[in-house]
Amino acid sequence: MPRGPLLVLASGIFALVLTMGVARFAYTPMLAYMQAQTGMGDALAGWLAGWNYLGYLTGVLLVTQLKNLLLKDRLYRIGLVLAVLTTGMMALGESPLLWGASRYLAGLSSAAGLMLGSGLILNWLLRHGHRAELGLHFSGLGLGIVLGALLVELAAPVLDWQQQWWLLTAAGALLILPAWRWLPRPDVGPPLAPHHADPANEPAPLWLWLLQGAYLCAGFGYAINATFTVLITEQQPALAGQGGLMWLLVGLAAAPAPILWDRIARRLGYPRALAIAYLMQIVGILLPVLSGSLTAAIASSLLFGVTFIGIVSLVLTMVGLRWPAHPAQIMARLTLGYGVAQIIAPVVAGELAERTGTFDAALVMVAAIMAVGLLCLLAMGAVRAERARA
């Protein structure tokens, strides 16, 4: 059956809602309920998040080695099934080993949904003469966060933590249907040639190193917020019971963010747009430290939602534009640092929180790291200007 671009893009949205929103990000609003009902500590919560990010990084590195489109399609569909199964694994018992295995495998599935799914959809769009724009596709990340948060919070009064995970599993079983059926099997034809690739126009090596440093720092900012937003809110005396709402706001802000940042980048350029996103995220990270008010929590959640997916989509697009001949290799290099930061950050933050009783020290640490990333972005502008004068 022939499919139009909107249906194909919709398949990717459903895939991201499943593999990212349910299999990966539902863990964040579920943390508060699991801690209250199972006695899970902040340190274990951080370690489980670290295993999830390790699984994602493993998946991303595997994806960068794949060349065969049919194999990519097969692994993408395996990833969809894995997303449903690993969500159900969380409900099977209270074993940290079981939870750790679930989170690691869920990370693999999210790499399949995000990296393989995005690549297959982009390939289909290019081969069928459509615009190679994935802003609508990436909105699935925010929509997935919204769906997961709504399911968790609406079910919390009537279901225990295990039953909540089973509900999420049932939702995943429904989501897999359009994600699987609406994405056509890939066309196997001549490889797509890079558009007018000229190595002489690629940025200087120092520029790439600075971008890698900035993206490494972004990994710390992303991991802390994506893992602990709900717990950080719940630990504020005046905000008990509001953590799920804050995570819902993250998703609502993230859904339109890729399209918004694309427009900002068209006007200001990608490095400047990234610098604005970093500055906004730093403000959002520090707000819960400076104030325990509901207003500060709402602003922090919205700022994180708008910026985290914006940073990723801007970097992905910029790499495609600056290195058209070999974007996958450059993205793998950048993702390595981003992924390592995602593994380290929640573990360190969880240990700090368990020892101090608050996430304030972890948030200040991450804000400082993001500030270093912002300096890297500013230095990139100086390097590019120097090369232009040379």
pLDDT digits (tens, 9 = 90+) for 46-61: 889 889 988 988 888 8
CB-facing half-sphere around the CA of 90: CA atoms within 13 A: 32
pLDDT for residue 284: 93
Q: What is the mean pLDDT of the chain?
A: 84
DSSP 107-135: HHHHHIIIIIHHHHHHHHHHHTT-----H
pLDDT for residue 189: 52
CA 43 – CA 49 distance, rounded (Å):
10
Query: Dihedral through CA 107, CA 122, CA 249, CA 369, nearest 10?
Result: 60
pLDDT for residue 102: 95
CA 161 – CA 151 distance, rounded (Å):
12
Token pair belonging to 10: 């919709």
C-alpha dist (Å) from residue 31 to 35, 48, 51, 155, 265: 6, 10, 15, 14, 35
Look-up of token digits 């912002």: 374
Which range, 37-51, 185-199, 205-219, is most confident? 205-219
User: Are 275 and 374 contacting, i.e. CB atoms less than 8 angstroms apart?
Assistant: yes
C-alpha dist (Å) from residue 161 to 82, 231, 241, 270: 21, 16, 16, 42
CB-count burial class (<10 Å; 0-12, 13-18, 19+) for 191: exposed
Mind listing the domains of the chain with CATH numbers?
A: 1-184 (1.20.1250.20), 199-390 (1.20.1250.20)
Q: DSSP label at 200?
A: G
Categorize the per-residue pLDDT at 262 as very low, low, confident or very high, splitting at 50, 70 and 90.
confident
